[in-house]
Amino acid sequence: MNWRDPLYCGCKINLRLKVTSRRPDGMHELSTLFLPLDFPGDTLELRDAPQLTLTVPEFPELAAEGNLVYKAAKLFAETCGIAPQWHFILHKTAPIAAGLGGGSADAAAALRLLNARYEAFDTPNLAKLALALGADVPFFLTRQPAWATGVGEVLEMVPYPENLPEILIVYPGFPVSAKWAYTHLTPELISPEQAGIKADFTAAFANPSSADWQALCRNDLAVALWKKFPLLTMLREELTAAGAAAVQVSGSGSSLFALFHRNSAAAAADLKNKFGHLHGFRIFTGGKEW
């Protein structure tokens, strides 16, 4: 890759998210299946500059030191012992605090661009740097489907499924913090992962039309969200009625993803007609925003 070229960041959904334990430090151990998506996603550009700066043209309020792009650049500079003389331009498309990993994808893109510029780290050490920014940032360095364990940082790469159902993503217009989702996790849901789950997904990818996607796409964090936010339950009911094979929360929310064997575009158009008046409401499927 050429560091002077804009880098598309992408996003992810969690086809499954099982919380397997709670550690003494308060962090949660997971078994989750990351699926990278090309859309929606942000685009990041890197330019040489007198000092470290960041602009986000569509959302100027996000151009702050708390932005993960800024944090990634600062960490890279400190680790390498070089002056952070860079300007980043982040074109924001992915919803914020939506369970789609947009911020983590941006951080990984910043590391990739800087590493292409300086060739400072091999792959394992760049992943270590990414982990310091967030548990799912290492995943976005490769953007390959992966089973993740630990707090999400131990990755087992899997081939991209060739026969996935159509994926529709709904952002309901409001964010949910990961801290809130984990704080409200029902303790009784914490348990070991289901035996054979990886084989079950492999079989589902091979023959998606006969898979029980709703059972496979479990998310332990979703239980609290269904209770807290009635709109999410309404959307789930609408998507199910439209023929979705599964509807689930992605990550810690608030976005939902729905799997369709066909007609996801028709479902998107219907949802847009019914809920499009809500502030911030967004729908993505078929490579476009509705």
Distance CA 7, CA 288 (A): 19
- The one catalytic residue among 42, 106, 136, 220: 136
Q: Residue 132 corresponds to which amino acid?
A: A
- The one catalytic residue among 12, 42, 92, 220: 12
Is 12 a residue of the active site?
yes
- Residue 254, preceding bond cis, omega within 30 degrees? yes
Distance CA 188, CA 202 (A): 28
Is 136 a residue of the active site?
yes
Annotated catalytic residues are: 12, 136
